[in-house]
Amino acid sequence: MEQTTNAVLSVRNVSMNFGGLRALSDVDLDVRQGEVVALIGPNGAGKTTFFNCITGIYTPTDGDVLAFPREGKQKRINGMRTNHVCELGMARTFQNIRLFPSMTALENVMIGRHCRTRAGILGAVLRGPKTRREEQQVVDASYQLLKKVGLEHVANDYARNLPYGAQRRLEIARALATEPFLLLLDEPAAGMNPQETLELKEMVIRIREEFKVSVLLIEHDMKMVMSLSDRIYVMEYGKVISTGTPAEVSADPQVIRAYLGEESDA
């Protein structure tokens, strides 16, 4: 298996069949250290299915999904349970926001810290100094993450009461709390106005810098994708039809035909 230099995720020939329906067909994809890679394509192209395949919600019918965590060697993660994938260091957000509505914003982020902490039942009941210290660290670290996404002032608000844009940012903060090496964002800018989208873009760039994390995102907002991504993969009907830099992809006639439409719309 050839190892691409400093890849963090390497997907080879992944296919996914649901009974008779072939949702993904021989998909190859790489994300390298520190990159922002975008996955675009018309609705139904298989983008979220792809996310689900690499995060353990589905087991790919064929192919290999290789992850390269910060410490340790490469690991084939086909069919690995979702929580282990997260523990390994790949955290995601969801197309339809999946926060925990009756928990506060702070607590939502604290959930992200779960896989990096260890207090068990005994610790919970006895609350010795070690447990208390761990708890306080979790609280403080989560608060700092809220600050990074600009939500520290709503830390004690219930997640369901937050405005839509704030909820999306909260989901990202929660994913960051798991200390990932790869952040998977599923349509983070959906439903946002241009101003919010710009702020989101800047936030992603900041996050990449500060947390030394690579990003793979699914997005429909072309302006954001073109200006943010280092590389793009274009999918249609479960296949990758084009890949390259934003400039290369937007000039690819196949892509234009399948997705971008008239040049004036881009």
The contact set with another protein (CB under 8 A) reads 18, 48, 52, 55, 57, 81-83, 86-87, 91-92, 94, 98-104, 106-107, 110-112, 114-117, 119-121, 123-125, 127, 134-141, 143-144, 155-156, 158, 161, 174-175, 178
Q: How far is the CB of 74 from another protein (least distance, A)?
A: 20
Which tokens belong to 98?
Answer: 């999946």
Strand 231-236 and strand 90-92: the pairing is: unpaired
Distance CA 81, CA 56 (A): 5
List Cα–Cα distances, 250 to 43, 121, 257, in angstroms: 18, 54, 11
**Helices (H), ranges, 149-185:** 164-176
| Residue 104, beta-bridge partner list | 158
Q: How far is the CB of 178 from another protein (least distance, A)?
A: 5
Q: How far is the CB of 265 from another protein (least distance, A)?
A: 29
User: What's at 228, amino acid-wise?
Assistant: L
Phi, psi of 203 (to 5 degrees): -65, -45
Q: 103 or 226: whose CB is closer to another protein?
A: 103
Q: How far is the CB of 183 from another protein (least distance, A)?
A: 13
Q: How far is the CB of 4 from another protein (least distance, A)?
A: 26
Q: How far is the CB of 69 from another protein (least distance, A)?
A: 14
Q: 89 or 229: whose CB is closer to another protein?
A: 89
Distance CA 152, CA 37 (A): 29
Q: Which of 256, 244, 217 is nearest to 40 (CA)?
A: 217
Q: 174 or 208: whose CB is closer to another protein?
A: 174
Q: 126 or 266: whose CB is closer to another protein?
A: 126
Q: 34 or 123: whose CB is closer to another protein?
A: 123
List Cα–Cα distances, 165 to 144, 149, 150, in angstroms: 19, 11, 11
Quote the DSSP letter at residue 158: B
Contact 118, 89 (CB under 8 A): no
Q: How far is the CB of 15 from another protein (least distance, A)?
A: 18
Q: 76 or 127: whose CB is closer to another protein?
A: 127
Contact 156, 105 (CB under 8 A): yes
Q: 55 or 243: whose CB is closer to another protein?
A: 55
